[in-house]
Amino acid sequence: MPMRLKTPMPPLDGVTEWLNAEPDLEALQGKPLLVYFWAVSCHICHENLPKIQAWLEKFSPKGLNMIAIHSPRMQSDTDVEKVKEALKEYGIVEPCGVDNKHLVKKAFNNDLWPAYFIFDSEGLLERRAAGNAGLSMLEPILEKMCE
């Protein structure tokens, strides 16, 4: 069952390694947050990453924070060196948690790639979306949250 709206953000305890620095979750309180799941073997993820990075540039000055979660789709995705290469290739600069045991994915009740979870300034789930079409639903929400 998908995570319900207004549910508090689950802990990120299952991350096996942080890349680009570990997020300071206390510092993120009181600000909107986009948590997104991706995988190096996910073609749609690759297509959407430039849009996500554009949102980071557009909305982070207005208070939005982002956390990427790399959740492998297949065994070859567990190679952290491949993840590091993809971070460079796609310009991912936000904290990126490696979820090789799928513990974060399970905490978010997420079975999709890519998947997006927007939490409001109180840390409650405002919207979730997945796939290519899901991305288009999120920008108006981010606009409103970052006014």
CA atoms of 61 and 7, how far apart (whole Å): 26
CA atoms of 131 and 112, how far apart (whole Å): 8
Could you list the residue range(s) of the whole structural domain that residue 130 is in? 31-65+75-94+102-145
Query: What is the Cα gyration radius of the chain?
Result: 14
Tokens read off for 42: 């996910």
Residue 23 belongs to some domain of the structure: no
CATH of the domain at 45: 3.40.30.10
Residue 19 belongs to some domain of the structure: no
Per-residue exposure over 11-49, b if at least 16 CB sit within 10 Å of its own CB, e if not: ebebbeeebeeebeeeebeebbbbbbbbbbbbebbbebb
pLDDT, one tens digit for every residue, the chain (147 residues): 789 999 999 999 999 999 999 999 888 889 999 999 999 999 999 999 999 999 999 999 999 999 999 999 999 999 999 999 999 999 999 999 999 999 999 999 999 999 999 999 999 999 999 988 888 889 999 999 988
Residue 13 belongs to some domain of the structure: no
Residue 140 belongs to some domain of the structure: yes
Residue 58 belongs to some domain of the structure: yes
Burial of 144 (0-12, 13-18, 19+ CB in 10 A): exposed
Residue 46 belongs to some domain of the structure: yes
Residue 22 belongs to some domain of the structure: no
- The count of structural domains within the chain is 1
